[in-house]
């Protein structure tokens, strides 16, 4: 109930009130530029691209499972309905109002997360695609022109600024998304095992939510894990391409400029950046906590 009310309000305020200009700048960069875009066959899209495209269906799956869970037992303490269960039992109108209000809170929370999550996924894909495009340009057969090398160097600086803007706006939203995935996976896996002998439908609903949490974390942040390495790979490709240019093409200056551009990663709050080992750490943490809950509470 608190999550359904407070977190969406905080996310909306952060994105569209306190940091509105940054949000608009990121949005415009993602959806108004045309360079490097071309249509592709669907099989050439990455898993994360497909996840972004089918995100509404993933959200619908989560909503439908939560609805099933609520309808099966609305008296759970984390539903608003449970506060007025006695009133709802005696009054059909109160039952309908409380039922509607709980589902409205869920849809309100999901809608806000959907917007922020779609922007994050789009950002990760856009940054990754831009870096890949420049790397392919630097590594193509034949001589790379000075104009292309300078354009790739400017792209490095531009991507650094974009990642900094994104981290300023989305660092804590990324942290919340990570926490929700971890919490949902642990709790839902535990309950799916715990209540399986008692209620198969509810256990299945929790298992689906747990699998959604695992899949969402791995697919959602797949591109985010590799951004620092890709940035470093692009800078190396630019330096190698620079060695093939004429001696007076400013190679030394370009090297110093690239050294001044940090290979930034996606921040998770103010704590750390996403790294390649984040997925194994996630699986290890979730597994240990599920086993700990099963051992502690049977």
Q: Which residue has the higher pLDDT, 172 or 20?
A: 172
Q: Over 50: is that where the pLDDT of 60 sits?
A: yes
Q: Which residue has the higher pLDDT, 76 or 133?
A: 133
CA dihedral 160, 166, 168, 169 (to 10 degrees): 170
Contact assessment for residue 12 and residue 108, using Cβ atoms and an 8 Å cutoff: no
Q: How far apart are CA 48 and CA 58, in angstroms?
A: 13
Question: What pLDDT score does 177 carry?
Answer: 81
pLDDT confidence tier of residue 36, bands split at 50, 70 and 90: very low
Span 24-39, mean pLDDT? Answer: 58
Question: What pLDDT score does 161 carry?
Answer: 86
CB neighbour list of residue 289: distance below 8 Å, 6 or more residues apart: 186
Q: How far apart are CA 269 and CA 253, in angstroms?
A: 35
Give the angle 60-65-71 at the CA atoms, nearest 5°.
125
Q: Considering only 110-124, 159-173, 204-218, which range has the smallest mean pLDDT?
A: 110-124
User: Could you give phi then psi for residue 273, rounded to 5 degrees?
Assistant: -105, 155
Span 33-40, mean pLDDT? Answer: 50
Question: What pLDDT score does 127 carry?
Answer: 84
Mean pLDDT over each residue of the chain, to the nearest integer = 77
pLDDT confidence tier of residue 244, bands split at 50, 70 and 90: confident
Domain segments of the chain as ranges: 2-11+46-297
Which SS3 state, helix, strand or coil, does residue 40 take?
Answer: coil
Which SS3 state, helix, strand or coil, does residue 198 take?
Answer: coil
Q: Over 80: is that where the pLDDT of 156 sits?
A: yes
Span 245-254, mean pLDDT? Answer: 73
**Half-sphere CA count of 189, side-chain side, radius 13 A:** 21
pLDDT confidence tier of residue 288, bands split at 50, 70 and 90: very high
């Amino acid at each position: 109930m608190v999550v359904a009310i407070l977190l969406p309000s905080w996310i909306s305020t952060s994105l569209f009130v306190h940091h509105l200009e940054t949000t608009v700048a990121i949005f415009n960069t993602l959806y108004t530029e045309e360079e490097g875009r071309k249509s592709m066959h669907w099989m050439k899209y990455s898993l994360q691209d497909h996840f972004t495209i089918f995100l509404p269906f993933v959200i619908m799956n989560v909503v439908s499972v939560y609805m099933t869970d609520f309808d099966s037992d609305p008296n759970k303490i984390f539903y608003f309905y449970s506060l007025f269960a006695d009133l709802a039992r005696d009054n059909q109108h109160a039952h309908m109002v409380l039922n509607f209000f709980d589902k409205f809170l869920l849809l309100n929370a999901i809608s806000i997360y959907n917007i922020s999550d779609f922007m994050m996924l789009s950002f990760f894909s856009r940054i990754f695609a831009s870096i890949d495009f420049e790397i392919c340009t630097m590594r193509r057969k034949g001589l790379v022109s000075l104009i292309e090398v300078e354009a790739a160097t400017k792209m490095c600086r531009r991507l650094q600024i974009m990642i900094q803007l994104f981290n300023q706006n989305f660092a804590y939203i990324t942290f919340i998304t990570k926490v929700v995935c971890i919490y949902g996976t642990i709790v839902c896996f535990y309950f799916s095992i715990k209540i399986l002998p008692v209620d198969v439908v509810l256990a299945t609903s929790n298992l689906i939510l747990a699998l959604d949490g695992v899949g969402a974390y791995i697919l959602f942040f797949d591109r985010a894990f590799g951004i620092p390495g890709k940035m470093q790979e692009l800078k190396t490709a630019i330096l190698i391409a620079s060695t093939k240019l004429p001696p007076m093409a400013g190679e030394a200056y370009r090297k110093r400029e690239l050294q001044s551009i940090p290979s930034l990663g996606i921040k998770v709050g103010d704590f750390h950046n996403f790294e390649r080992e984040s997925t194994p750490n996630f699986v290890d943490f979730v597994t240990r906590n599920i086993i700990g809950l099963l051992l502690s509470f049977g």
